[in-house]
Structures are given as structure tokens and as C-alpha cells.
Amino acid sequence: MARGRTGVADLRGPGFLTIAGGQSASAEPGDALKARLAEQARALGFDAFGICAPDSIPEAPARLRAFLDAGYHGEMAWLADRPERRSDPRVMWSEVQSVILLGFNYGPDADPRAVLTRKDRGAISVYAQGDDYHDVIKARLKQFARWLVATGGGDVKVFIDTAAVMEKPLAQAAGLGWQGRHTNLVSKGRGSWMFLGAVFTTLDLPRDAAEGDHCGSCRACLDACPTAAFPAPYQLDARRCISYLTIEHKGPIPREFRARLGNRIYGCDDCLAACPWNKFAQAGREAKLAARDALRAPALGELVRLDDPSFRALFTKSPVKRIGRDRFIRNALIAIGNSGDGELASEAERLLADPSPTIRGAAVWALAQLLPPERVATLKAVHLAAEVDDGVRAEWDWGAAE
């Protein structure tokens, strides 16, 4: 993820946009073309621009291999699919001569951690409170790529977090920032809040100097993580990351992490928000990416009443929609269990009859946190006999024993 998503890349498929051009007779000299490219990037709303060579991240293969060998990718099997394509742009496309990295600021207008104290409300990661950044930025990247082909010739391929491209190390090589100890890109001028897009081109363009590491001895991001997801600086165990657990993980959330999720129901911004370089961050300017009022701090009691049509309606054009209602309600029920608000127990109790075992199991856990043991035992006696899912039955056994 380039972006936004805290810690966990949203890399899903092999698709990319290809624009064929052929060398233009009016192609400009490299420096002049690069200056015009930077100007065009700014005109399209991009906040950062840089160029690196396709062989500029030689350390990437070994780092990716170590990440995969440790199992840190969890259920994200696509990360292990042909890893050589991720770690070397030339394997992805042998004709690439230059990689253009573009950054898009999405800085929040307030501290995203403020909602964590409002236990009856859900915390949705900053990047997911507006329209899906993939759609918004992809359109700009296509415009940029077409302009490049029309002006400078050559062929291009465009990537926005949906193919096997390691945008963050490439962005560091192109001078947009550096990968901080939380593994996300940090910019001196924009802090931790930047989406990334990449344009591969057959043109040989002047390179930018790589950005050095400016984390120093700071470990604010590591200490901020509620689940200790960083086994060491610059290493992320996605299996412990709240972004992974609430978005990528499909089954019941492991019990050891449930209380630590607090009211985070989609993603987590803690490590990003803790970075001291955010003192230079600015609020994003793109209206489509601005937080919708309904998603800034939604009431948990209202969220768990969503059926599939209303879930899709609330999250239309939002990245949240891709996890589906079941996982989302699962997350909201964990937050209800952590709320300490007994009045929300009735919402969890109603979902004991939900068709989804993922939701039923999360409802059992939430009730075990909110109700007296004798009330949980009574509910178990009513519901357990009809329960056909082994996982939910195990939740009842655990919940009644608490």
C-alpha cells in the first residue's frame, strides 16, 4: 500500500494499464522533458514526483524473501506469488528504462487517534473515510501517462497498488521519502500520509537522488502499535497488524488480539499518526478523498444493523466495501465487546441468529465481554443446540467459561 494503508499493502492482481506510443519525432531532451513532467504532475494534483532506475532496489529480493520465509504475510498469498516480479521491475516488464513515482497527499484534517477514546464509535482508517483512492488516483495516472506518451513517446505501464510493484522502496530510490521504521514511506514535507503511483516507461529519463533515512533513534511508531506488530525496526509481521486483521484476515480474529483492537473497525493509523515528521504534514486537498461525515466516527450500534444492501449503500465508492458485510460486522462486534457499554449488548444478541458464522462467533465474544456470566450461560443454553458451526460452538464454550 502504498499508501495508505497502514503497514499492509493492498496488492491484489496482476492487472496494469498499458499505453503504447512509440518514439515521438518531437521527443524532448531528457532534462527538459523531466521538467515538463514534474509540471504536469503538479497540474494533475500530485504532490511529489521523482524518477529512479528500474534496478535501483537491489536489496529488495532478499528483504522480500526474508519476509515471506518468516510467514509475516499471513493469508496474503498473492505476496508469495512469483516474488521475483515484485522485487525487480525488469522482471515485471523487461523493456522498462525508467520508473516514475508520483505521490498524492491525503493528510487528515485532525488527529485520527481522537476517535479511539469514543468507545461507542468505530474508528475507520483515514485513507478509507472518503472515495477509494485507487479510482481517484488511477484516473490521474492515466492522464499523466497519456501526456507522457504524446509528448515524449515511448511506451508506458501504469500501476496504482494493484500489481506486483514495490512502490515504497522505489519511491525512496526516487527521492520521495524514506521507508520509516513502521515500513511505510515518510516524507520530510508531508509526514506519513501519501498514496503512491508508479509509471514504468521505455524512455531513459534523468534520475533523482535517493532519499536517506531520517528516523534516527526515534521509535515512536513502533511503541504506538497496539499489537506489537513490529518484531524489529523496519520489519512488519502482518499477522499481528490491525490493518491486516480487520481487512485481509477472513476468519475469526484471534482472541489474543481482540481486546487490543479497541474500536478500530477498518485499518489502523496509530503507527502513521505517531510519526514526529507529521508536524510538517498538511491536510489533503482532493475533495473526493476527504472524509465523509458518516465515516468519521460512525456509531457502532448503527453499523451492526447494516444488512448487505445497506452496507453496500453506505460504502459505495469506498475501499471498505471490498471486505464485505460479514467481515465488517465482525469487526464492529469486536469493538462493541471492547466498548464496555452494556446497552450495546442487545445489538450483539440480535446477531446470534445471523446467517454468517463469522458474525455469530463475534457476537458471542462481544456478549461474553459485556454480560454477567450467568446471562451468557443462559444464552448458550438457548443457542448452542441449534449451532452447526464448530467455530461458533467453540466461542460459546470459551465465552461461558470466562
The alpha carbon of 362 is separated from its chain's Cα centroid by a whole number of angstroms, namely 23
pLDDT of the residue at 14? 35
What does the pLDDT read at residue 86?
83
Residue 330, all three cell numbers: 465482525
Quick one: average pLDDT of 322-328? 97
What is the rounded average pLDDT of the residues 365-384? 96
pLDDT of residue 399: 77
**Is a pLDDT exceeding 60 seen at residue 335?**
yes
Position 2 confidence tier, pLDDT thresholds 50, 70, 90? very low
**Who wins on pLDDT, 350 or 25?**
350
Answer yes or no: 161 catalytic: yes
pLDDT at 11 over 80: no
- Residue 234 CA neighbour count, 13 Å, CB half: 14
Confidence of residue 199 (pLDDT cuts 50, 70, 90): very high
33 is in an annotated binding site: no
Confidence band for 6, pLDDT divided at 50, 70 and 90: very low
pLDDT at 21: 55
- In percent, the amount of the chain with pLDDT more than 70 equals 92
Q: Is the pLDDT of residue 1 over 80?
A: no
Which one is catalytic: 47, 155, 161, 237? 161
Rounded average pLDDT over 139-143: 94
Confidence (pLDDT) at 4: 40
Q: What pLDDT score does 17 carry?
A: 57
Torsion of CA 247, 248, 254, 260, to 10 degrees: -40
Rounded-to-integer distance, Cα 140 and Cα 88, Å: 25
pLDDT > 70? residue 15 = no
Q: Please indicate if the annotation marks 85 as binding a ligand.
A: no
Beta bridge partners of 199: 100, 158
> Binding residue per annotation — 52?
no
The tens digit of pLDDT for each residue in 261-298 reads: 999 999 999 999 999 999 998 888 888 888 899 999 99
Q: What does pLDDT average to over the chain? A: 91
250 is in an annotated binding site: yes
- 34 has pLDDT over 70: yes
Across the range 203-229, mean pLDDT stands at: 97
Q: What is the DSSP string of 178-201?
A: EE-TTSSEEBTTTBT-EEEEEEEE
- Report the pLDDT value the prediction gives residue 304, as an integer from 0 to 100: 98
On the question of pLDDT at 182 being above 90, the answer is yes
Instruction: State yes or no: 346 annotated in a binding site.
Output: no
Query: In whole angstroms, what is the distance from residue 161 CA to residue 265 CA?
Result: 22
pLDDT tens for each residue of 384-394: 999 999 999 99
What is the DSSP annotation of 111-153?
-GGGGGG-TTB-EE-GGGSSS-HHHHHHHHHHHHHHHHHHHH-
CA distances from 327 to 37, 125, 311, 330, 348 (A): 42, 16, 11, 5, 15
Per-residue confidence (pLDDT) for residue 284, from 0 to 100: 85
pLDDT tens sequence across 238-263: 999 999 999 999 999 999 999 999 99
Mean pLDDT of 122-142: 94
* Residue 111, all three cell numbers: 488527529
Residue 373 contacts by C-beta under 8 Å, 6 or more apart in sequence? 400, 402
- Cα distance between residue 7 and residue 1, in whole Å: 7
Residue 402 confidence class, pLDDT cut points 50, 70, 90: low
Mean pLDDT, residues 36-48: 96
